[in-house]
Structure 1
Amino acid sequence: MTKHFSRPTAAPAAAALTLALALALTACSSSGDSSGGRTPDGGAAAAPSHIHGLGLRGDSLYVATHQGIYTPDADGSPMPVGDRRDDFMGFTVTADGDFLASGHPAPGSGGPADLGLVASTDSGRTWREKSLAGKVDFHALDTARDSTVYGYDSANGLLRASADGITWDDRTALRALDIAVSPADPGTVLASTESGVARSTDGGRTFAPGAGRVLAYLSWGAHDALFGVDPDGVLFRGTGGGADWTRVSTAPGGAPQALTVVDARRLFVATGDGVYESRDGGRTFERRMAVKAAGGDH
């Protein structure tokens, strides 16, 4: 029988999220090795070892990693996109198909230690600076239906928001790992915290205390498609705007690294050994891209 949960009861999940939050508040900028991946012309490329974000443009999957953006080839092997091997900590694809990202430049590439917000209009082949270069490393990014960009500034423990990706407002201080914006209401924002899911209804200016299921990553792909995954990889579907969570299944591959939801049936979860896709609301999964096993640092 399916059970519904409205209060966190699993201390191990909270402890795991606390550890993940601690790791997320430290810089993540070490380089990967040079084995495993391949470039479009068949040459060697750094194999992605940790995933930070997932997104679709059309029907193509894009994976933001510790070593740049990748997309799976026909065999599910990671193909690097473009020449930048930056550590894209935060990543999202807008409704218009633009890529927004943040993080740290690749070792030896020069420039400030924090990318601020960068954007791509050609599926990650080229990038341009938009704002906050050298000032902010967003570990989570999401956009609302009115094009508002929300970014979680992990170094300062602060949610920021921007109407154009250039001028930013500081919203509220909180300790979070991920954020998700309601597709129906641009002012409703959820954040995964070590005490449960925190909810804001005023554009992130204030949040109710975290409560309910302790989750690591959240994604709200459509009005009826709110999902979260806990630190052990257990997938839940949210109702009541995140007030209640129903267990669906356990994602393959171990601890989660990213989650993105397309609609009530289609979603993607990144875990320790790859990116998995479900087309039945998270009940079953098929691996779309393999990655090298890595540690749990976000």
Structure 2
Amino acid sequence: MNLRLFTLTFLILTVLPLSAFAHGTEAEHQEEGLVYNKIAEGGLLISVILLLISVAGIIVISKQIKSVKVKSQKGQKKSRQLKRSSTILKWISAATLLSSIIFGFMTTRNPDAEQESTIGFQHIHGLGYTNDGKRIYIPAHDGLRVFSNGKWQIPEGEKHDYMGFSMVDDGFYSSGHPGPASNLKNPFGIVKSKDLGKSLEILDLYKEIDFHGMAVGYDSHAIYVLNPQPNSKMDDTGLYYTLDETKTWSKSQMNGLTAQPASIAVHPSDKKVIAIGTKEGTFLSTDFGNTFESILPGVPASAIHFTKENKLLVGGLEEESVLYEINLDTMEKNRISIPKISNEDAITYIAVNPQNSSEIVFTSYEKQIYITKDTGSSWTQIAKDGAAIDSKDKNETN
């Protein structure tokens, strides 16, 4: 038996695979979850095989030692060699037993569950309530996050990178990219889910385009997209909409819109009403985006959201981050008090509880998340710098 070769093989097969866990970047951490179990299971198998081989070697050598005639000088030399070999194999068997225990423990761990014990947001790509008003859904680059009853959790479903995410009364619509473990192709085009991410239905432009600027009417399901490049359904860039689940598309003229769109929102029930936020202010259209009028000039708008009470919430920047509520029936404007956030920060997404218009939640570029249940009289921070905060750790800000 060549013990040097055996020892070298042992080191290669049991020690080197551990280097696969030495990841350093966020992208590599995503891959770690996919290969973790395979490495653990492979390491366990190799360790068990080497343990069995070393034990078998010890048994064979023990029999050889008993058969050696130690009265002769040659026999004594052979006996010493066999005993040294037996000692080495005993150390190897001890090491493989230990590695078998370690890899066995690793196979019982759930790295995803450990990562989920501290819920965070690598990015935030949308925001919305379920129709019963009990859950808030946020796509966070590596799948969905849910806030309900003061607690955060990661729901069932693949960890897709959702973009243009829009909650509706019976689920959500989205664009984006498939998660690393998914069999879906990239990019999504437009997809929808009626089971809140457990499964996806592909609607249109699959494998063609990813819409970052996309909004859907909460009840009407009218879909509007800001098309960044021509594709098989859209001959040009610009604003397009569909009222029949992407079967047909129409191009909006966008007359009166004088600045580059930064945010987009669709009225929950009126298919022809859409708002766009820009650096020059907020613009409203009541004819499918063909003509726009400025309704909040001079306030760069970073986020907008329609309520079921025919109001428009606008997150913007003046000397600091602000939140306005515009009554679209009277055009009366009301500034809602919000927590002070960094001057380098701004509101990115806004949502209002469909069952309680006093409950508002917003996110920011720096991944702060705040919620109020009294239209801004008091706020609770439920995420800080991308780290989720449960209600037991909540911080209220007046």
Does the TM-score normalized on the shorter chain lie above 0.5? Answer: yes
Matched, 1:255 2:326: no
8 Å Cα contact 2:304/2:314 also seen in 1:
yes
Cα deviation, residue 88, structure 1: 1.1
- 1:208 maps to a residue whose letter is E
Greater helix share, structure number:
2
Counting matched residue pairs gives: 260
Cα deviation, residue 117, structure 1: 1.0
8 Å Cα contact 1:235/1:250 also seen in 2:
yes
Q: Distance in 2 between matches of 1:239 and 1:190?
A: 13
- 2:302 maps to a residue whose letter is A
Question: CA separation of 1:236/1:210 partners in 2, compared to 1, >3 Å: closer, same or farther?
Answer: closer
Q: Distance in 1 between matches of 2:218 and 2:157?
A: 29
Alignment gaps of 5+ in structure 2? 1-25, 31-109, 231-236, 388-398
Q: Pick from 281, 288, 294: which aligns with 2:382?
A: 288
Task: Name the residue aligned to 1:216.
Answer: 302
RCO higher in 1 or 2 (8 Å CA, sep ≥ 6)? 1
Q: Distance in 1 between matches of 2:351 and 2:381?
A: 15
Could you say what secondary structure the match of 1:246 adopts? strand
Q: Distance in 1 between matches of 2:279 and 2:229?
A: 17
Task: Name the residue aligned to 2:166.
Answer: 92
Cα deviation, residue 63, structure 1: 0.7
- 1:147-186 equivalence runs, <5 A: 147-154=221-228, 158-167=238-247, 168-172=249-253, 175-183=260-268, 185-186=270-271
8 Å Cα contact 2:225/2:239 also seen in 1:
yes
Q: Distance in 1 between matches of 2:330 and 2:218?
A: 17
Task: Name the residue aligned to 2:136.
Answer: 61
Q: Distance in 2 between matches of 1:161 and 1:89?
A: 17
Alignment gaps of 5+ in structure 1? 1-29, 294-298
Q: Pick from 74, 81, 86: which aligns with 2:155?
A: 81
Q: Distance in 2 between matches of 1:241 and 1:223?
A: 10
Could you say what secondary structure the match of 2:323 adopts? strand
Q: Distance in 2 between matches of 1:47 and 1:144?
A: 27
Cα deviation, residue 279, structure 1: 1.2
8 Å Cα contact 1:49/1:291 also seen in 2:
no
TM-score, normalising length: structure 2? 0.57
8 Å Cα contact 2:369/2:382 also seen in 1:
yes
Could you say what secondary structure the match of 1:129 adopts? strand
Could you say what secondary structure the match of 1:51 adopts? coil
- In terms of Rg, which structure is larger? 2
Greater strand share, structure number:
1
Where do 4+ consecutive residues of structure 1 move more than 6 Å? none
Q: Distance in 2 between matches of 1:184 and 1:144?
A: 7
8 Å Cα contact 2:263/2:276 also seen in 1:
yes
TM-score, normalising length: structure 1? 0.73
